Amino acid sequence: YSVQHPWLLICHGDLMQKQTFFNISDHRYYMRNISELKERILCAYADEWFVLESIYSNDCYLWNLVSNEKIQLPPLPAKCDIVKCLLSAPPHDPQCQVIFLIKETPDNDETNNDDTNEDDNSDEDEDEDENENSNGDGAENEDENSNGDEDEDEDDENENEDEDEDDENEDENLLIFYFCKPGYNEEFHKQDVRSIIGDSHLGIWTIFKKKIYTLIGMQNILTCLDVDNDSGRITATPMTNESPNLSKKYLDHTLYRGYIIQSSSNGMLLYVHLIFNGREYGMPYHFRVFQFDFATKRWIKSESIGEIAIFISFPGRSGTTCSIIGTNLKKESIYFTDGRYL
């Protein structure tokens, strides 16, 4: 294992039971069947430590690729979607934190019970109506009037259902941070995103020098998320009031993606702006790289990325870097996958 010789890990098979390790430096691949990675999703990593999630449930734990050591994490809600995950440092590090961005799904059990009670009551009303119908013609007019009332009731019920659906949609959009120190906390701390950043939308994020940085809002304002495990609170600190100065030259290209990446080789925080081809939306057209200057609190366009190579992932909106010294990697290069090709 070496951070200077990056490996591309591809998990495949119906149960993720097969792994292909591709050595980017010497262009060789190795097939493996690691039992610990079977039926697991790799959520995050720090050095040789992986955060693994079961494909059947939200059961998560830390696993060491080298020593095979395992650290169980506290349970997450049974009904939720894991949107993102970060591991700030290996678990032996005092600054280690694991943080999940969770979208909780509402529990429909109570709603289903209410619907059942309403159905039971409606059945009783239908029985009473049938008895009234059997009494003669005079009851028919009453039934017609009652049908009108039922229509009004149905309209009211439909309005209530729409309101309930709106409330459920708001609940479904509620994003919550779950975070803890692995091996230390028995339960996750939790805090909703809106209470921290004033918005329910969280942009791309990364770990830089064991701290969490994210881009907030339409202006992509760089913000540091300070996690206090003792108090169980997260605070947001804007690092600047400026967004990266993107060129107007490519405004006609409507599809683009952004990445914030820690450069472990030279201690830089990078923003990579990927612009896709207007005709072939799956093919990158142009890259722009910015470096954040913590002294002036500004993004500075990089004319050179130095003795490093940048690696980005399209689906995961994540990336990494490594030194090209002593490797066969190309200088001033950005690597990405295109189907089966790198």
Show the low-confidence residues of the chain (pLDDT under 70): 1-5, 106-173, 247-254, 265-266, 278-282, 315-316, 338-342
Q: What is the pLDDT of residues 81-92, one digit of tens each?
A: 999 999 999 999
140 belongs to a structural domain = no
Q: Give the distance from CA 220 to its chain's centroid.
A: 17
C-alpha 232/C-alpha 191 separation (Å) is 8
By the 8 A CB rule, do 30 and 51 touch?
no
The DSSP bridge pattern shows strands 256-263 and 268-276 to be antiparallel
Which structural domain range is residue 195 located in? 75-120+173-239
222 and 177 within one domain? yes
Residues 201 and 253 in one domain: no
pLDDT of residue 153: 45
| The amino acid at 172 | E
pLDDT of residue 291: 94
CB-based contact 284:336 (threshold 8 Å):
yes
The structure's pTM equals 0.75
When computed from its CA atoms, the radius of gyration of the chain, rounded to whole angstroms, is 27
Is 196 found in the same domain as 92? yes
* pLDDT for position 341: 67
146 within a domain of the structure (yes/no): no
> What is the count of structural domains for the chain?
2
Q: Determine what percent of the chain is predicted with pLDDT higher than 90.
A: 43
Q: Which residue from 200, 208, 239 is spatially nearest to 222, judged by alpha carbons? A: 239
342: closest CA among 50, 11, 2, 29?
29
Q: Are residues 107 and 231 in the same domain?
A: yes
> Per residue in 177-197, pLDDT tens?
999 999 999 999 999 999 999
Nearest Cα residue to 183 out of 245, 113, 90: 90
- For residues 101 and 194, membership in a common domain is answered with yes
| Closest to 4 in 3D by CA, of 31, 26, 19 | 26
Question: CB neighbours of 231 closer than 8 A, spacing ≥ 6?
Answer: none
Do 255 and 213 reside in the same domain of the chain?
no
Enclosing H/E stretch for 310: strand 308-313
